[in-house]
Amino acid sequence: MDFFDAFLNPEIIATYLRPMVRAVWVTIWISVLVVISGLALGALLAGLRAYQKRWLSWPIVLFADLMRALPPLVLMLILFFGLPSIGIILNDWFVLYLILTLVLAAFVEEIFWATMTSLPRGQWEAGAATGLSFLQVLVHVIFPQALRMNIPPLVNRSLTISKMTAYGSVIGVKEIVSVAGSAQAFSGSATPLTMAALAYLIIFFPAMLLSRYIEDRFHYEH
Amino acid sequence: MENFIDAFFNIDIMRQATPLLLKGAWVTLQLCAVVIFLGLFGGLGLALLASSKSALLRLPSFLFIDIFRAIPPLILLILIYAGLPFVGVRVPPFVAVCIAFLLNNSAYFAEIFRSGIKAIPKGQMEAARATGLSPAQAQAWVILPQAVRNVLPDLLSNVVEIVKLTSIASVVSLSELLYSANMARAVTYNSSPLVMAAGLYLLLLWPLVRVISRFQRGLSISH
Amino acid sequence: MTAAQPLPTLEITALEKRFGETQVLRSIDLKVQNGELVFVIGPSGSGKSTMLRCCNRLEEPTSGAIHVNGKPMLGIPRKELDRMRLQVGMVFQGFFLYPHLSALKNVTLAQRKALGRSKAEAEARALEMLDKVGLKHKADAMPSELSGGQQQRVAIARALALDPKVMLFDEPTSALDPELVGSVLKVMRDLRELGMTMIVVSHEMHFAREAADRVVFMDGGVIVEEGPPEEIFGNPKSDRLKAFLSRVSGEAA
């Protein structure tokens, strides 16, 4: 059949299975790194903002606004094509990792900050009254609550940004889309593109179901 | 420093690129208008199906939503634009983008609408039915208006995401803002047009991002 | 009266607090001796809660001095303040247990992080304190699983576990359903028996009458009158106190 021949040709699937699997690993690997460092950086920024020092909050707010308002693809191109002209050459995968981390951190910072300002002031006071330092209250009292209340949005945002690893294809990172793209050009068949879509389904469909489950479970009762 | 300004903030090059970029920005705006419209209505329809009592309607809607939330829009776009010609269907870039965005955005909007509908207490529907409204009327005049108001911040932030997402249309050579800027970069061997494009995106989206932050804070305080 | 005044456990001297233009506290002087239970009453907005919150500097005084066992609370570096706060336990109207931690963990957190006690030591101490407030069996419960009265008792245990020199109670029973008030008052009564120094801001006049060593009446940011409960309730001198007492008894009736 015409359709299957174009989109699900078994011979082509067999030929490109191995490079595709390798590309899947690249995608997963970069996604995991992005999620870990994005969450950590976002939490750190929210923590710094809690000190309510103008010279600290101001740049953080600016950073969060920029990273949320600019398309990541634009940022990646600026970094990838612009930096070499001032003598800085970054790996393609590092540009992808860096931009996605910064974008995720910006969203995480905003999510945390909104919660931190909404927790009753008594939570801060109860900590202070028992002799905990500001940092200790932040780490042991405020952050765990912010994390718990925000598991659904944090999971959703992490998944959305993980899927943006597909943008790596634009700057030549050997992830799923880029490997599928060159395989398509090479084989003259659309099958590698179907494989790419299926690869994402295999990775992210369970993640979507998981996030649905989490949303139901952690729906914050208050 | 001079080097840096020359590479990213070159006024001459920016001036040169301005007409091209403005044309690109106009295409981006048109594209946004179309895909947001499509996404909102597709999403609303899907959300109603996904909230229905009949499993026959509900399950396929959920499947649709989860599949198209799992696949990155970029791969959808490439599949439609570069894949369909293999079965003899050739679509222009603009149409390819619209189809890909319809599939992806409907899924995201549907999730938002659905969570809004789910949050409306059952009593609202019962009260509406008790006053003689049909299920469809109750849905349209009682449930949906409340649901939409509740999820307004989420709708707004999804709109921001879509506007940013239109930049992927550059991959299929649709001459929107990023494509134009990247063209100008390639021609001038200078990244200033990209920075300028970033500036235009900011002009459009920064106010919205501010509003969203205000929203989040306002909501969390009222809790 | 006594010849050699012992060092007060808590001493407030010439305390002033302004919020912008409004003067909330005016030249407050108060000495609380070891083992004393001082009850602070007064209409809402009289500044009694603010005074209490100044004692551990949750509210920053505008001027004046506060000493705990002769050591200053004001004008000390941040680190020193954290340490001084360990000596001043505080119980809030809204309990403010940490909702993500079990009752036991609520009580061990500051012991471990602020006092540096070992896990075993902190837990042993926490269980002892939970036992004291009658909630040892609820050690593993989350705050959301506890009634308001139980939450407040855990909050008391949380403060007590740090071995404070003085306990401040800021309307500890105001947020509780009437039937739960008794359990919290009982714990406070037990504490008094054990010789804990306490300052209590509350509207529980019966409790004041029966348990307080001294009652302080505040109005308009100043201490209007103070004395033993029999005096304050039985023989009020100022018109403001008389008016307040008749209003309160009117409400109670």
Q: If you write DSSP's letter for every residue of A159-192 in order, what string do you get?
A: HHHHHGGGGHHHHT--SHHHHHHHHHHHHT-SHH
Angle of the B55-70 helix axis to the B11-50 helix axis, nearest 10: 160
Domain housing B150 = 1-221
Residue A81 DSSP one-character state:
I
Q: Are C96 and A120 in contact, with CB atoms under 8 Å apart?
A: yes
The residue assigned the tokens 């809790």 is B223
Q: Which residue has the higher pLDDT, C249 or C161?
A: C161
For chain B, the C-alpha Rg in angstroms (whole number) is 21
Q: How many CB atoms neighbour CB B16 within 10 A?
A: 17
Are chains C and B in touch, 3+ Cβ pairs below 8 Å?
no
Amino acid at A58: W
CA nearest B5 in A: which residue? A86
Residue pLDDT, tens place only, B44-68 = 999 999 988 888 999 999 999 999 9
Residue pLDDT, tens place only, B171-221 = 999 999 999 999 999 999 999 999 999 999 999 999 999 998 888 765 544
Q: Say what the alpha-carbon torsion angle C201, C202, C206, C210 is, to the nearest 10 degrees.
A: -20
What's the pLDDT score for residue C53?
93
Q: Is there a contact between A190 and B210 if contact means CB atoms under 8 Å apart?
A: no
Distance CA A92, CA C215 (A): 74
What is the pLDDT of chain B when averaged over all its residues? 90
Contacts of B198 (CB under 8 A, 6+ apart): A70, A74, A75, A78
Q: Are C240 and C219 in contact, with CB atoms under 8 Å apart?
A: yes
pLDDT at residue B163 greater than cutoff 90: yes
Amino acid at B24: G
Cα-based distances in Å from B104 to A91, A153, B40, B60: 30, 19, 11, 15
Q: Are A130 and C110 in contact, with CB atoms under 8 Å apart?
A: yes
What's the pLDDT score for residue A78?
93
What's the pLDDT score for residue B89?
87
Q: Are B100 and B80 in contact, with CB atoms under 8 Å apart?
A: yes
Long-range contacts of C128-133 (CB under 8 A, 24+ apart): C129/C157, C129/C158, C129/C160, C129/C161, C130/C103, C130/C104, C130/C154, C130/C157, C132/C157, C132/C160, C132/C187, C132/C190, C133/C157, C133/C160, C133/C187
Cα-based distances in Å from A21 to A175, A194, B24, B89: 10, 14, 37, 29
Number of structural domains (chain B) is 1
pLDDT bin (cut points 50, 70, 90) of residue C3 is low
Q: Say what the alpha-carbon torsion angle C42, C44, C45, C46 is, to the nearest 10 degrees.
A: 0
Task: Give the residue from B69, B158, B163 with the most A CB atoms within 10 Å of its CB, the best one to mutate.
Answer: B69
Distance CA C146, CA C148 (A): 7
Q: Say what the alpha-carbon torsion angle C117, C123, C125, C127 is, to the nearest 10 degrees.
A: 170
CA nearest B204 in A: which residue? A69
Q: Is there a contact between B8 and A190 if contact means CB atoms under 8 Å apart?
A: no
Domain ranges of chain C: 10-99+166-249
What's the pLDDT score for residue C4?
62
What's the pLDDT score for residue A220?
46
Contacts of C215 (CB under 8 A, 6+ apart): C38, C39, C40, C41, C208, C226, C227, C228, C229, C232, C233
Choose the closest CB to B216 out of A71, A110, A170.
A110
Distance CA C103, CA C131 (A): 12
Average pLDDT for A113-132: 91
CATH code: domain of residue B158: 1.10.3720.10
What's the pLDDT score for residue C98?
92
Choose the closest CB to C110 out of A123, A131, A134.
A131
Q: Kindly list the residues from chain A whose CB atom is less than 8 angstroms away from the CB atom of residue C82.
A: 128, 131-133
Q: What is the pTM of this model?
A: 0.86
Average pLDDT for A12-41: 94
pLDDT bin (cut points 50, 70, 90) of residue C253 is very low
Q: Which residue has the higher pLDDT, A85 or A22?
A: A22
Distance CA A196, CA B105 (A): 20
What's the pLDDT score for residue B168?
95
Choose the closest CB to A140 out of C113, C159, C162.
C113
Q: Which residue has the higher pLDDT, B151 or B126?
A: B151
Q: Are A175 and A30 in contact, with CB atoms under 8 Å apart?
A: yes
pLDDT at residue B140 greater than cutoff 90: no
Distance CA C156, CA C152 (A): 6
What is the pLDDT of chain A when averaged over all its residues? 91
pLDDT at residue B39 greater than cutoff 80: yes
What's the pLDDT score for residue B221?
42
Residue pLDDT, tens place only, B2-22 = 788 888 999 999 999 999 999
Average pLDDT for C205-209: 92
Q: List domains and CATH numbers for chain A.
A: 3-218 (1.10.3720.10)
SS3 at position C1: coil
What's the pLDDT score for residue B138?
84
Q: Is there a contact between C79 and A133 if contact means CB atoms under 8 Å apart?
A: yes
Residue B140 DSSP one-character state:
I
Chain A, chain C: beta-carbon pairs less than 8 Å apart: 73
Average pLDDT for B79-107: 92
What's the pLDDT score for residue A70?
96
Q: Is there a contact between C88 and A129 if contact means CB atoms under 8 Å apart?
A: yes
Angle of the B177-188 helix axis to the B11-50 helix axis, nearest 10: 150
Q: Are C13 and C66 in contact, with CB atoms under 8 Å apart?
A: yes
Residue pLDDT, tens place only, A162-215 = 999 999 999 989 999 999 999 988 888 889 999 999 999 999 999 888 888 887
Distance CA C178, CA C3 (A): 44
What's the pLDDT score for residue C30?
95
Q: Which helix (H) or strand (E) holds C168?
A: strand C166-170
Q: Is there a contact between A205 and B67 if contact means CB atoms under 8 Å apart?
A: yes
Residue pLDDT, tens place only, C152-180 = 999 999 999 999 999 999 999 999 998 99
Choose the closest CB to B178 out of A73, A181, A208.
A73
What's the pLDDT score for residue A136?
94
Q: Kindly list the residues from chain A whose CB atom is less than 8 angstroms away from the CB atom of residue C158.
A: 126, 130
Domain spanning C10-99+166-249 has what CATH number?
Answer: 3.40.50.300
